[in-house]
Amino acid sequence: MNLNKNQHTNRDRRSREETGEVASFPIALEVILLILKIFITVCESIFRTIVPVPKKSVQGEIVLITGAGHGIGRELALQYADLDAIVVCWDIHEQANKNVVSHITKKGKTAYGYICDVTNREEVIKTVQTVEREVGKITVLINNAGILEVRSLLEHDEEDIRRTIEINTVSHFWTLQAVLPNMIKNNHGHVVALSSHVGLGGFRNMVPYCASKYAVRGMMSALNEELRYNPQNQIKLTTIFPYIVSTGLCTNYKIRFPQLFKEVTPKVAAECIISAQRRNIVEETIPEFSLTVHNILQTFPKKAVYLIRDFINIRFESNK
Ligand SMILES: NC(=O)c1ccc[n+]([C@@H]2O[C@H](COP(=O)([O-])OP(=O)(O)OC[C@H]3O[C@@H](n4cnc5c(N)ncnc54)[C@H](O)[C@@H]3O)[C@@H](O)[C@H]2O)c1
């Protein structure tokens, strides 16, 4: 067979690459560069724990909050409005949602209310279209609506399990698919998702809830990778893992050291969430230090973690 000079060169290069001969120098250089970049990133991160990233403005941003009628969602709506964002409140409870909107508008700030069941894909798509027509393109999406049923796995009926996963997890797919196209088109936007401390570690009597909150973390992590694929991407993601917040969602629990592990108020929780969003933090626990504790515990043997858990002795009792 007659091979021309180029074909010979390519074949030789390929065979040298396969044996690692050619690639060794550029890869060594790449590794050195990688180590250097990692070092710079670690230094930057240490610097940023001392001097936090400045908070970006949310003035004029159109912030959609699901489950805005009560608890954390309500506080988020009030605080975003105070920061001069245009707030779009969604809830299934009409009166509660109306109250939040009128509370905001009475203060001279801007808010709009819509009744939307986030588990209903058609309704989500239609309501986003209505919001875009009446208010404008959504630039901040906060997937907050959620429910909690506390009971053993075998006490949960099919309806319980489906509703928990539908509201806490599946709904995020529908809002994301409805809102992301415009964010991608304008290369501008921010998505915040509410997971939970129990989305970092499992708890008794919370199997479906934990599963739904772990799933939120996985969804946001994978979406982050999808968006990162575009090197110019400017759409930011934030996942929040709150400890118990005094909204009434989680009441039937006992803990050995209640003074050490105090409930967080919805006001403080909303402040932390907004601060994380405005600083483009990818994952944030409430309180902040618990993410570091969680990361350290991840390196411990499981049995050691069980010993610590048994010592702290937090128990969520069945609400059946
Ligand atoms: N409260 C806590 O201790 C705590 C802890 C960790 C995480 N979280 C998470 O934070 C989020 C908010 O919790 P919260 O304590 O403020 O809850 P909440 O019960 O006070 O408020 C939830 C709101 O969501 C609305 N909602 C429920 N189903 C809906 C649906 N299908 N469509 C639209 N709206 C719906 C409710 O009407 C309600 O207004 C939830 O995702 C929850 O899992 C809460």
Q: Which letter does DSSP use for residue 31 in this model?
A: H
Counting from 1 in the atom list of ligand 1, the atom nearest the Cα of 119 is: 31
Q: Give the residue, by CA position, lying nearest to ligand 1 atom 18.
A: 71
Helix (H, G, I), strand (E, B) or coil at 303: helix
Residues shown for the chain: 320
70 CA from centroid of ligand 1 (Å): 7
The reply to whether 80 belongs to the active site is no
State in Å: Cα 167 to ligand 1 middle: 9
Return the closest-CA partner of residue 204 out of 237, 240, 167, 155.
155
Least confident of 17-31, 106-120, 199-213, 265-279: 17-31
Q: Cβ of 69: how many Cβ atoms within 10 Å?
A: 25
Q: At residue 119, does pLDDT exceed 60?
A: yes
* Residue 49 pLDDT: 87
What's the pLDDT at 260?
A: 85
- Give tens-digit pLDDT for 168-208: 999 999 999 999 999 999 999 999 999 999 999 999 999 99
282 pLDDT band, cuts 50/70/90, is: very high
Q: Specify the pLDDT at position 3.
A: 43
Q: Using most ligand atoms within 8 A of CB, pick from 147, 150, 164 the residue to mutate for ligand 1.
A: 147
pLDDT per residue as tens digits for the range 9-47: 455 555 555 554 555 668 999 999 999 999 999 999 999
Q: Looking at residue 201, what is its pLDDT?
A: 94
**Omega before residue 301 within 30° of 0, cis:** no
Is the domain defined by 62-316 classed in CATH 1.10.10.10?
Answer: no
Instruction: Check 114, 209, 214, 243 and give the catalytic one.
Output: 209
Q: How far is the CA of 162 from the centre of ligand 1 (A)?
A: 16
Q: How far is the CA of 232 from the centre of ligand 1 (A)?
A: 34
pLDDT tens figures, 204-228: 999 999 999 999 999 999 999 999 9
The amino acid present at 290, given as its one-letter code, is S
Domain ranges of the chain: 5-50, 62-316
Residue 89 confidence class, pLDDT cut points 50, 70, 90: very high
